[in-house]
């Protein structure tokens, strides 16, 4: 049996300390280009697109893709279903609670970021394919919900594998390396589609300093796809090289672009060549949209039995299951 890193190893504790020091409290902002990369004519532009993705990812860790192949009608339908789920009575949603450590089910203000020590001001519903027994609303409660979410998650998986395949080539790996590591047909699959509902922001908190919808954090996965709605902003990013200055950059949401970012898994796999950088969702300010904010986030997370090994030996080997377990334990209230 391969030896894995123990939970809360010195390296992981150092990362948590870095997140706590980040605090999510910096208010300085600066303009940076969040690159928009077209995936049109992918078959004939593979090298060009791979170069653009690598350049954006190594520079800021975030980029947006357009012409991505996911029908905007499907995106709109998924958002509609998400809003309808969160509009269900609380006693209905409570029938499908988040399974501890499983990324499956509904949670309400339970995610606590070490950066701020208070729960994110949101509710969410996690879909992880092999772990959904007993967690789907009935057809009487919300007709078509399961079929819509399952279909949309598969579309996200396909796009994520397309992007990860371009990174695999640049890392000297086989093109389908990450596709094999994220196998949805396996019962060890643990990639997650998360539906998120940030609550409308109260008028009395608009002038309050250091209030956040989601505190500063990095993602645990290999690659995140984030769908946002035009006009529902708040996402800010912070390149690691500039973390000490805490000069954040806002990411403008749009219906046609998917915001992507490198996660901790891929940073580990790449010997830190691909950075997983901090991001947060700041509170709206007076004069800005203060209504509810809905997003859809797909987290490409290697199957639980996959071994994450960095070719250069920067990190010791660890299974994806152990790696996610230690990060989840550190970021959710008991």
Domain locations along the chain: 34-332
pLDDT score recorded for residue 212: 65
Question: Distance between CA atoms of 64 and 4, rounded to whole angstroms?
Answer: 34
pTM, whole model, 2 decimals? 0.88
pLDDT at 189: 98
Q: Which residues of 178-193 are buried (b: 16+ CB within 10 A; e: fewer)?
A: bbebbbeeeeebbbbb
Q: Which CATH number fits domain 34-332: 1.20.1250.40, 3.30.420.10, 2.60.120.330, 1.20.210.10?
A: 2.60.120.330
Q: Give, in order, the Cα–Cα distances in Å from 288 to each of 194, 237, 248, 296.
A: 25, 19, 18, 21
Segments in the chain below pLDDT 50:
1-25, 113-117, 241, 333-334
pLDDT of residue 308: 96
> ∠ CA(324), CA(298), CA(37), 5° rounding?
120
**From the CB of residue 88, how many other CB atoms can be counted at a distance below 10 Å?**
17
Over residues 30-60, the pLDDT tens digits come to 778 899 999 999 999 999 999 999 999 999 8
Question: What is the model's pLDDT at position 69?
Answer: 96
Q: Half-sphere exposure of 309 toward its Cβ, with a 13 Å CA cutoff?
A: 8
Residue-averaged pLDDT of the chain: 86
Tell me the chain's radius of gyration from C-alpha atoms: 19
Predicted confidence (pLDDT) per residue in 209-221, tens digit: 556 677 788 999 9
Give the three-class secondary structure for 137: coil
């Amino acid at each position: 049996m391969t030896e894995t890193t123990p939970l809360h190893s010195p390296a992981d504790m150092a990362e948590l300390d870095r997140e706590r020091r980040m605090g999510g409290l910096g208010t300085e902002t600066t303009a940076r280009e969040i690159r928009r990369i077209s995936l049109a004519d992918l078959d004939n532009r593979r090298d060009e697109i791979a170069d653009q993705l690598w350049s954006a990812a190594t520079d800021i860790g975030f980029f947006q893709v357009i012409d991505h192949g996911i029908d905007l009608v499907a995106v709109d339908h998924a958002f509609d279903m998400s809003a309808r789920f969160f509009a269900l009575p609380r006693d209905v949603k409570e029938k499908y609670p988040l399974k501890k450590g499983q990324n499956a089910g509904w949670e309400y203000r339970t995610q606590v970021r070490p950066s701020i020590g208070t729960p994110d001001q949101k509710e969410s519903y996690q879909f992880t394919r092999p772990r959904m027994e007993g967690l789907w609303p009935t057809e009487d409660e919300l007709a078509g919900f399961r079929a819509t979410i399952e279909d949309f998650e598969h579309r996200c998986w396909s796009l994520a594998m397309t992007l990860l395949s371009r990174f695999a080539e640049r890392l000297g790996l086989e093109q389908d390396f990450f596709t094999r590591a994220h196998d949805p047909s396996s019962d060890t699959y643990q990639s997650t589609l998360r539906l998120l509902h940030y609550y409308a922001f109260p008028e009395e908190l608009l002038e309050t300093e250091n209030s956040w919808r989601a505190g500063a954090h990095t993602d645990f996965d290999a690659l995140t796809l984030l769908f946002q709605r035009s006009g529902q902003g708040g996402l800010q990013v912070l390149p690691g090289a500039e973390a000490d200055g805490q000069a954040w950059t806002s990411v403008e949401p749009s219906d046609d672009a998917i915001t992507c970012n490198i996660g901790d898994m891929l940073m580990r796999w790449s010997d830190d060549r691909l950075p997983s950088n901090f991001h947060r969702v700041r509170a709206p300010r007076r004069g800005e949209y203060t209504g509810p904010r809905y997003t859809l986030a797909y987290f490409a997370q290697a199957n639980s039995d996959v071994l994450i090994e960095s070719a250069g030996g920067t990190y010791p080997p660890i299974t994806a299951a152990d790696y996610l377990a230690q990060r989840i334990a550190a970021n959710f209230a008991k």
